[in-house]
Amino acid sequence: MSRLFLFCVFLLSLPIAPCSLLLAQPVADDLPQITGCIALINAKVVSAPGKAPLVSTVIIRDGLITQVGVNMKIPADAYRIAADSFYVYPAFIDAFSSTGIKEPEGEGGQQGQGNRGGQKQSFDAEGNLPLEDAGITPYKRVRATFDPGDKSIADWRAQGFAISHVVPKGKMIPGMGSIIVLSGKNADQMLWKEDVSMYSQWTGAGGGYPQTVIGVMAKWRELYHNATLAVAHEASYTNATLVSRPIYNQAHQALMPVVKKEMSLWFRAPKMKDISRALTMQSDLGMKMVITDAEEAWYMEDKFKSGAVPLVLSLDLPEDKSEKKAKEAEGAKEAKGPEGPGQDGPGQPGPKAVKAEGVKEAEGADASATSTPLSTSTLSSRDSTQTKAIAVDTSKIDPEKEAFEKKRAESLKAHQDQAGILAKDGIAFSFGTMSVKTGDFSKNISTMIEHGLSAEKALSALTTQPARLLGIEKYCGTVEAGKMANIIVSTKPMFEKDASIKYMIVEGNLYEYETKEKKDKRKGKSDEAPAGILTGKWSYAIEVPDQKREGTFEFTSEGGELKGTMTSEDNASGNDQLADIVIDGTSVSFTFDFDMGGQMIQLEFDLTLKGETFDGTVSVGDFGTFPITGNRTSKPN
């Protein structure tokens, strides 16, 4: 196990009470609340998607927005925030997620396993698995597996989310969803509206019926038919005489609100076939349905134009490997040498572009040929050698691989374009975070905007649209008097490059975040001299409580662009590249990313150079900020 991983585990184990160790800390957290009133004074307020920012003061009291306007008298008991340099937006609403939900006891990692723990499974007289083993648990509620202290709650709040529609974890029908507020100390404070939806997906039992997608489809029809009969029986028992008392199956009873169209079925359908099957089932059975976590909805665009079946898009995007491949290709090109006009015309590999093994001797002949006339035999020999080298290089091109890469690039573009295309075609949608990591949220939203989604539509899909879908538009989704005080205070217009959240207000609870203004990278030949104060090798030591972490930085300047690496015995993640390197006088900042058990952590370094030494700090996400010192051990030749 790498020492870097152990270091991160140590950070995770640090006590969370001291304010100095937290990046985001609620005002007066764990202390008696002095006032329930907050005043955001002279902020640029964007009250709703499509609205222009207006300089206004926002007064909040007891979790509600009480006033929005200008030249207002600030209450004497208000906690005042001079917000003239900030932008105010309605906080985000997550239409579909598992925020705060833990794995049900006894089911973690067992999805798809039929014979758990080597025990023989039991079946009823008709050969059906028990409901729990079959993954048919529509009666389960969020409260049973909700953890108010789960880290994902704080993580998504830091991304701008105040409200989330969460669902249980499970298989075919995991259970009923609830709407939660991302602030509070216990489930009673955070669970706002319970049992608002039914959640289903194309996930079979694994060890028995329903195991396949076809089996799930058949089982759904059976369940819906039986629940319909249960509804009719209950109505007869209530309104007529001489009708026997209904005996309810637990699953049928839980599905009765779906049959009565009192509750929507939220069907998770990422791929095109998943969506098509779900829409077919909806058409056949007639329940109210929401297609959610959709990644390939563009294939079924016509099906959503009427708005009869609401759509929730996934915020996840496929990884773009093109940039990485481009860098690798550039590195290979530099290793092989420059391309030139070859035997087959411009753009083809020249004599120094590629060389097969065993033909390096030709280089000597080429060199001597520049000063002496070439004989016919020499020309013939060189032509043969070059042709052979080109043939070797051409043979490396795999048509199947090339076709695969082209198809992958087209798929990536379709995913990136999806939200923009649907919005332009007038199809309303919300966003859900079920399948995306917190660290990818801002990047993916920016990518969608770069590919045609307007900032206005992006904000709508995160505020007013999910509010309408969840039936809570009366309470949240905009910044106006009478609404729940769910507000983002941003350093720049939302979704703009380098914009960051300074404050989050969730139902009147204030959270403050440390923001660092990113400086423009220095470029051009005029910056080569300042870069010289940094280039070379530097040793460093990070002071963590009760221990010290040591390693080496190495900085180089190539064409005026600074590059750097970080090496240490702690780092076994495979990444050694520093990013966002900026020099401002004697101040230096840069970042370093590493993967800790599937969670991407970013270290942010801020250093002050003092000749051949430096000191400064390194911030480790939510885990705190620690001192760092170092000295230069060598300069470039």
Identify the pLDDT of residue 547: 77
Determine the Cα–Cα distance for residues 438 and 489; give it in Å rounded to an integer.
Answer: 19
The DSSP annotation for 36-74 comes to SEEEEEEEEE--STTPPPEEEEEEEETTEEEEEESSPPP
Closest of 176, 314, 320, 305 to residue 250, by C-alpha: 176
Q: How confident is the model at residue 119 (pLDDT cuts 50, 70, 90)?
A: low
170-184 tens-digit pLDDT: 999 999 999 999 999
Q: How many residues does the chain have?
A: 637
**pLDDT digit string, tens, across residues 132-161:** 888 999 999 999 999 999 999 999 999 999
pLDDT band per the 50, 70, 90 thresholds, residue 382? very low
Q: What is the DSSP string of 197-232?
A: EEEEES---SSSSS-SHHHHHHHHHHHHHHHHHHHH
For range 538-551, the mean pLDDT = 84
Per DSSP, 476 falls in state S
Lowest mean pLDDT among 177-181, 472-476, 561-565, 568-572: 568-572
pLDDT: which is higher, 123 or 191: 191
Q: Which two tokens stand for residue 579?
A: 């990013």
Q: What is the pLDDT of residue 181?
A: 97
pLDDT, greater one: 560 or 267: 267
CA distance 341 to 576: 37
d(CA 523, CA 500): 24
Report the greatest alpha carbon distance in the chain: 116
pLDDT at 172: 94
Place of tokens 């909700």: 146
CA terminus-to-terminus distance, the chain: 37
DSSP state of 372: S
pLDDT confidence band for 378 (50 / 70 / 90): very low
Q: Cα separation of 320 and 247, whole Å?
A: 55
Q: Residue 357 carries which side chain, given as an amino acid letter?
A: E
Separation in Å, CA 351 to CA 335, 356, 369, 373: 14, 11, 13, 18
Report the candidate in 327, 299, 316, 313 with the shortest Cα–Cα distance to residue 447: 316
- Domains, the chain, in order of start with CATH, read 23-90+477-513 (2.30.40.10), 333-367+377-396 (no CATH), 525-634 (2.40.128.120)
The mean per-residue pLDDT over the stretch 409-427 comes to 93
**φ, ψ of residue 304 in degrees (nearest 5):** -105, -5
Q: Which pLDDT score is estimated for 568?
A: 81
Q: What is residue 110's predicted lDDT score, i.e. its pLDDT?
A: 39
In 374-463, which residue ranges form alpha helices assigned H by DSSP? 376-395, 399-424, 438-450, 455-462
Residue given tokens 């040591």 in the structure block: 550
The pLDDT of residue 573 is 58
Q: How far apart are CA 283 and CA 628, in angstroms?
A: 63
pLDDT at 387: 47
Non-local (6+) Cβ contacts of 79 within 8 A are: 27, 34, 35, 37, 38, 39, 510
pLDDT per position as a tens digit, 210-253: 889 999 999 999 999 999 999 999 999 888 888 888 888 899 99
Q: In which band, very low, low, confident or very high, does the pLDDT at 529 lie, cut at 50, 70 and 90?
A: very low
Q: Rounded to whole angstroms, how far apart are CA atoms 623 and 11?
A: 6
Phi-psi group of 635: left, alpha or beta (phi > 0 → left; psi -120 to 50 → alpha; rest → beta) = beta
Q: What is the pLDDT of residues 6-45, one digit of tens each?
A: 455 444 444 433 333 233 435 545 445 667 899 999 999 9
- Cα angle 265, 141, 508 (rounded to 5 degrees) comes to 95
For residue 326, pLDDT beyond 80: no
Distances (CA, A) of 605 to 85, 477, 515, 534: 26, 37, 14, 14
Average pLDDT over residues 308-323: 87
Given this model, what pLDDT does residue 372 score? 40
Residue 500's SS3 state is coil
More confident residue, 368 or 335: 335
3 state SS for 525-575: HHHHHHHCCCCEEEEEEEEECCEEEEEEEEEEEECCEEEEEEECCCCCCCC
**DSSP of 246-268:** P---HHHHHHHHHHTTSSEEEEE
> Beta strands 92-97 and 161-166: pairing type?
parallel
> Please, which pLDDT band fits residue 498 given cuts at 50, 70 and 90?
confident
Mean pLDDT across the chain: 80
pLDDT at 294 over 60: yes
pTM of the model: 0.68
